[in-house]
A and B are shown apart, each in its own frame.
Chain A
Amino acid sequence: MINIIGRRKLWYSVSASVLLIGCVLLTVFGLQLGIDFTGGSVVNVITERQESEIAEIIQAQGVSDPLIIATEAGYQIRFAEDIEVEAALNQAGITVERFERVGPSVSRDLVTNSFKSLLAVSLAITIYVAFAFRKVEHPFRFGSIAIVALLHDSLFVLGVFALFGTVFGVEVDAFIVTAILTVIGFSVHDTIVVFDRIRENLLRRSGQFENIVNDSVNEVMGRSLNTSITTILVLFALFLFGGASTVNFILALLLGMVSGTYSSIFIASPLLVTWHNRQARPAKK
């Protein structure tokens, strides 16, 4: 049996330092936000014409400063205004593969809507977990720690994307919202499965709280590993062969999955013990 709970300070510091780096990256460099968040337009065209010709057509529509990047079969054009250029490009005989423009009011809303969703989900989960664990002592602790775990996992994923944004210029668009929500799903799912084992053992066995939690975590380890492996196998296949449009999305899910499994065992369960011990032995004055 591995003494996971006993080494909890190690796990806390691993997580704390990783998340701290993530936070620093997020605050200093931030995420490379796509037009879903900033507003503006992106056009993908298939053409063999010169870049300057494309620029001319776009600028004739009133775009001041288009950024034109060559792609495999044509160009990707980005600009800050939300101006319709598709008709003009079509008229010039250029195939528009994808055109997206987002007005400022919509982009503002995506941010608030994402936070609203996150808040509503967290609240609902705390209440449900507290209800599901009502037979053990302090059910709200289980609920609150489930939220700590899901914040841990979402922050980790966001931190990695801040790193990728800084180093590789990976951009974050509306997919990141769906991805974070999926990660939250993984995280809560995993935490509940581990907590369920703890709940069962707390009700059936007697002994030190710390030992029961450690036994439970060890018992559930096989399952956690195998579930992670199966999910990672599926995600990894999608990551390798799933096409360019979903690569970032799948990457976010992969990271979230790993973090979710880790946090349920190495963060959520030890936190239960830390909270329990602090309550049992009030701090000396």
Chain B
Amino acid sequence: MKNKLRWQLLGLALFTLLVGVLAYPKEGDILRLVGIDHDLQIRRGLDLQGGVHLVYEAEIAEDEDSDDVLRRTIRIVQQRIDPGGAGEVIIQAADNNRIVIQIPDVDDPQSVIDRIGRTASLEFYEVNFQADNPEEQFIPTDVSGEDVRRADPGFDQISQPVVNLRFESGESTRRFGELTTRIFQNNTQLLILLDGEPVFGPGPVQGPILTGEARLTGSESVADAQEIADLLNAGALPVPLELVAQQTIGPSLGAEAVSASVLAGMIGLLSLIVFLVIAYRMGGTVAVTAMIIYTASMMTIFKLSALPIFGGYTVVLTLAGIAGFIMSIAVAADANILVLERLREERQAGMNPVKAVESGFDHAWSSIRDASIATLIICVVLYSLAQNLGETAIQGFALVLGIGVAANVASVSMITRTLLRGLVRTRFGDKI
């Protein structure tokens, strides 16, 4: 027993050292000493970091498979606003016909909204100004944006920004070739519209284009040409999107909220420590130590979950998430208090300290277990509901609280118990 306890205490010391280093705000400096050049960061939500939160509603026809439509729409939106996939953009489907988009650090929200909202449909028309009836002047063709394989920004001979189109080889190139041949022979004109705005023509073609390449003129700037190219590469949205809710939070507001919460959290934690030590003396010190290790472990979990290998499972800390964290601290305090109260009862009943630790633990366990499971059930129900409904704040709350409660059960049963067992065998044992 004693030997095993020694190993457990050693393991606990190592664990504390590890989470202590990782949770330390400037952990990068320490990690570099051991040759790891990597800064860890807690991923903050939009309300703490600033950014744009957008909710779109898709007009999906009843006979369409809404999951499939939303999946395709999300893929296209992703390419439009985050072509390389490098930004911390979160795009989620919600509630059957909604898409929730969260973009941190946006300078110009309106341009993002404009870019998402564009249908980006490219239409090719043959224009015959000789036709008598104005309605017959514009002849639709069988070439569309779907035939385009790639669009790239570039410059024409007179250094004007243009967008170079490359058609799909085979069928698409052949049809575009036929269209340009027909226009050339009929002496009509070609018109290309992007979302109803002309991006080429109407103008004559110099000859049949059989190579599958075309050039769109009329871009105002290189950035404009780049945007059109991005839009065309992403493809057209399968359904129109309507913006139904929007939230923009400036970065300063978020920073204030963070620094205030951190300060408040520190004061709160400090007063909690003082209270527990006064109320339970030696036992309180153990509880406080366990809770500090618990808090450091939670910080470590938040930081590590932001690493790329945990891809989709990052804990994004929002104000609601902080609330979940506070509640988890309350739960942690309660678990420790339950153990200490039981311990005190056993001691008052005259049990020797070593036995009292074990007995106090066993008796407190059932309530810690049942209360934790109930809270976990709440978290799971809330998380899955919120995920379906697109309520990101509730989702963040449930995730953080759930992790906290689970970590707390581990913390009490391992850290508090091991420390108490260790302490009771020292000369302070009688004071517990």
Real binding pair: yes
Contact, CB under 8 Å: A227 / B330 = yes
Give the residue name and chain of the B residue nearest to A116 (CB): B385
Stretch of A19-27, A123-131, A267-275 that contacts chain B: A123-131
**Residues on B with beta carbons closer than 8 Å to the beta carbon of A84:** 110, 113, 243, 246
The answer to whether the Cβ of A105 comes within 8 Å of any Cβ in the partner chain is yes
B373 within 8 A of A: yes
B126 at the A interface (CB under 8 A): no
How long is the Cα–Cα vector from A200 to B338 in the complex, in angstroms? 14
Does the CB pair A132–B110 fall under 8 Å?
Answer: no
B256 cross-chain contacts in A, Cβ below 8 A: 243, 245
Binds A, one of B20-28, B161-169, B267-275, B412-420: B267-275
Whether B330 contacts A237 by the Cβ 8 Å rule is no
Query: Which secondary structure dominates chain A's binding surface?
Result: helix
- Chain B interface size band reads 35 or more
Q: Which residue of B lies closest to A120 (CB)?
A: B381
Report if B260 contacts A (CB, 8 A).
yes
A87 cross-chain contacts in B, Cβ below 8 A = 110
Does B264 contact A241, Cβ atoms closer than 8 Å? yes
Q: Report the minimum CB–CB distance from B203 to chain A (whole Å).
A: 33
Distance in angstroms between the alpha carbons of A84 and B367 in the assembled complex: 52
- Rounded to whole angstroms, the CA-CA distance of A241 and B263 in the bound complex is 7
- Cβ–Cβ contact A184 & B269, under 8 A: no
> Would you call A196 an interface residue if the criterion is a C-beta within 8 Å of the partner chain's C-beta atoms?
yes
Shortest Cβ gap from A206 to chain B (Å): 19
Contacts A97-B253, A182-B327, A238-B264; A103 near B382 (Cβ below 8 A): no
Q: Is the CB of A106 within 8 A of B245?
A: yes
Partner of A95, one of B250, B323, B386: B250
Given contacts A87-B110, A120-B381, A181-B397, contact A129 B374 (CB under 8 A): yes
Q: A84-B246, A128-B374, A181-B378 are in contact. Are A189 and B334 (CB under 8 A)?
A: yes
**Contact partners of B199 in chain A: CB under 8 A:** none
Q: Which segment of B60-68, B138-146, B216-224, B388-396 sits at the interface? A: B388-396
B257 near A231 with CB under 8 A, answer no
Given A237-B264, A238-B261, A100 contacting B389 (CB threshold 8 A): no
Assess the B374–A96 pair: CB atoms within 8 A: no
The answer on a CB contact under 8 Å between B394 and A177 is yes
**Does B181 count as interface, using CB distance less than 8 angstroms?**
no
List CB contacts (< 8 Å) of B355-404 with chain A: 363, 366-367, 370-371, 373-375, 377-378, 381-382, 385-386, 389, 391, 393-394, 397-398, 401
Q: Scoring A residues 61 to 80 as 1 if CB is less than 8 Å from chain B, else 0, what string do you get? A: 00000000000000000000
Return chain A residues, CB-CB under 8 Å to B260: 241-243, 246
Contacts of B327 in A (CB 8 A): 182, 185-186, 253
Q: How far does the Cβ of B161 sit from chain A's closest Cβ, in whole Å? A: 24
Cβ of A189: which chain B residues have Cβ within 8 Å of it?
331, 334, 371, 374-375
Contacts of B337 in A (CB 8 A): 223, 226-227, 230
Is the Cβ of A233 less than 8 Å from the Cβ of B377? no
Q: Mark A110-139, 1 if CB is under 8 A from B, else 0.
A: 100100110011001100110010000000
Q: Are B382 and A117 in contact (CB under 8 A)?
A: yes
Q: Please give the distance in Å from A34's CB to the nearest CB on chain B.
A: 12
Q: Is the beta-carbon distance between B257 and A245 smaller than 8 angstroms?
A: yes
Alpha-carbon separation in the docked complex, A196 to B398 (Å):
24
Which chain A residues lie closer than 8 Å to B331 at the CB level?
A: 189
Given A132-B373, A229-B275, A234-B329 contact (CB < 8 Å):
yes
Having A174-B391, A192-B374, A196-B366, one finds 12 other A-B pairs with CB under 8 Å, namely A95-B250, A101-B245, A103-B243, A113-B389, A178-B393, A178-B397, A189-B371, A197-B367, A227-B337, A233-B268, A241-B264, A246-B322
Nearest first, the 8 closest Cβ-Cβ pairs linking A and B are: A243-B260, A237-B268, A196-B367, A234-B268, A103-B244, A231-B330, A241-B264, A242-B264
Give residues in A with beta carbon < 8 Å to B.
Answer: 44, 82, 84, 86-87, 90, 95-103, 105-106, 109-110, 113, 116-117, 120-121, 124-125, 128-129, 132, 174-175, 177-179, 181-182, 184-186, 188-189, 192-193, 196-197, 199-200, 219, 222-223, 226-227, 229-231, 233-238, 240-243, 245-246, 249, 253, 257
